Chain A
Amino acid sequence: MREAFAFLMLLAATAAPASPAEAAELPPGRAAELERLVLQDCGSCHGLTMKGGLGSDLRPESLAGKPVEVLTEIVLDGVPGTPMPPWRPLLSEDEARWIANYLLNGGAQ
């Protein structure tokens, strides 16, 4: 419940419109690594199938309509007060945006 509320606050606070997702350029091989990260490590909490667990449901039908920049920020800065950690120490903004797009487009399915 708190997580949903924090998410809504983040949504309200962000002015960015839901622009079409732009694929960030990644070094060769990095995309495959990020894909593995999403499946296996994000999957620790969000489930290998992204259906959720300790973390929320990340399937495209659940994320539909969420702006890519909002998701990118959540990946980078986490959701304080919940188990969602900030990945900024480990990921660049481009990589976080790639993950956001990947999830929005159902890449993990």
Chain B
Amino acid sequence: MIRTLAFCLLSLAVLASAGALRAGELRATGDLGVIVERASGALLIIDQSDHAAIGRVEGLGDLSHASVVFSPDERFAYVFGRDGGLSKVDLLTQRVAKRVLQSGNAIGGAISDDGRLVAVSNYEPGGVRVFDAGTLEMVADIPTGSKTIGLVDAPGRRFVFTLWDAGETWVADFSEGEPEVTRPAITRIEGIGTNPYDALITADGRHYIAGLFGEDGLTAIDLWQSPLTPRRILSGYGRGEAPLPVYKMPHLEGWALAGERFVLPAVGRHEVLWVDTRSLEETGRTKTHGQPVFAVARPDGRQVWVNFAHPLNDTVEVIDTPSGEVIHTLKPGPAVLHMEFTARGHEVWVSVRDAGRVDIYDTRSFEKLGEIAAETPSGIFFTARAHRTGL
């Protein structure tokens, strides 16, 4: 009787999550990824080489600005939801393993280099909260009195983040002692600038760059230096010209490194700005179709793919890194929100929110290779991010 009941339940469970692993089945995680369905509170789980969705995980709350990081074993996706939800999703069983509502309004998160701590950047209350990656129990609460942005992990079990209101960057160092019982050492760096809106850290964990909304310029910190000193770069890039309206904020990520230069979105100008990584001087600009939101270097750095803010957001431009010229333009469809490269860059997946699909392109030929149906898709995240600082 019990066995029959158990068998029935097992069958139901199998039917309910057809893509989830059955007993005895093996699946690798290196090929997996997730697509955020921003209006449905759900995550699509995808298989990169199959070019297919293999499951959907629901009940993730308000995902209107969700981001995702991965555990070092690539098994779990930590989803940071707009409503302050922090969800740990098991990619193999396709279930929510754990979920907490840790704030009123959150904007992003990060995972420490050793995978032990997950940090969330909160607008409300303003500050950063840090959780045990296994249990999601809170281990540190760092109030800042300000909206926090640009939260990244840095080598040595550190988190770096920036304050929108106060114009400061803080480094929270959890390397001494056990995080559950030891308070982090906090270093505050002032003078970052007016209204930093986002920040990136390079894959080597060395350069932290914050973009500014309230002034023309960005601020770079070399994390190898001591003491940590902010340095204004691209100051006055607006050249005194009236800025154009910004209908969606640009986003900064570690993919900004292309060859020996950073490629950064301008704010209020339809341009990306190139900066030499050693001198931090401007080396040039590329005029773009609209206000850049993401400027993402292909993993080899040889191309930079750029998408744009409303209303010019049906377009993607591809810039050739050595020449700085736009070499190709794609029109995937209405509301291109995000682009994600495969780990070595042979493909890029592009979310087209208002067409309800994610397009897959060959980055050499620009040929469209396939598409995946998704409900108002926004962010796309592949598991290879688990092995990169700052993503």
Contacts and interface: CB of A to CB of B under 8 A. Distances in A.
Interface in A18-61: 36-37, 39-41, 43-45, 47-49, 51-54
Contacts of A81: 214
A86 interface: yes
B213 A51 contact: no
B62 interface: yes
Contacts of B92: none
Interface stretch (B3-11, B44-52, B240-248): B240-248
Interface in A67-104: 78, 81, 83, 85-87, 89-90
B357 interface: no
A53 B247 contact: no
B245 A89 contact: yes
Nearest to A86: B245
Contact of B246 (A49, A85, A90): A85
Interface residues of B, number: 29
Contacts of B38: 48
In this complex, the member of A48, A52, A86 whose beta carbon has the largest number of chain B beta carbons within 10 angstroms is A48
Interface string B67-91: 0000000000000001100000000
Contacts of A86: 245
Query: In terms of DSSP, what is the predominant structure of the interface of chain B?
Result: loop
B64 A41 contact: no
A85 B267 CA distance: 12
Contacts, number: 68
B386 interface: no
Nearest to A37: B310
B107 interface: yes
Contacts of B288: none
B123 A85 contact: no
A45 B245 contact: no
A58 B128 CA distance: 25
Contact of A40 (B62, B195, B335): B335
A47 B147 contact: no
B249 A45 contact: yes
Nearest to B310: A41
B56 interface: no
A39 B310 CA distance: 13
Interface in B200-242: 213-214
Given A40-B335, A40-B353, A90 B64 contact: no
B243 to A, nearest CB: 10
A44 B107 contact: no
B297 to A, nearest CB: 24
B376 interface: yes
Given A48-B38, A78-B245, A89-B245, A54 B147 contact: yes
Nearest to A1: B165
B246 A53 contact: no
Contacts of B82: 47-49, 51, 53
A49 B65 CA distance: 11
Contacts of B64: 43, 47-49
B78 to A, nearest CB: 19
Contacts of A90: 247, 311
Contacts of B376: 40
B105 A44 contact: no
A79 to B, nearest CB: 12
Given A40-B354, A49-B83, A53-B82, 15 more contacts: A37-B310, A40-B39, A40-B335, A41-B248, A43-B64, A44-B247, A45-B248, A49-B82, A52-B124, A53-B105, A53-B107, A54-B123, A85-B245, A87-B247, A89-B245
11 contacts: A40-B335, A40-B376, A41-B310, A47-B64, A47-B65, A48-B39, A51-B83, A52-B105, A52-B124, A54-B147, A54-B164
Interface of A: 1, 36-37, 39-41, 43-45, 47-49, 51-54, 78, 81, 83, 85-87, 89-90
Shortest Cβ-Cβ A-B pairs, 8 listed: A48-B64, A85-B245, A41-B310, A44-B248, A47-B64, A85-B246, A86-B245, A85-B247
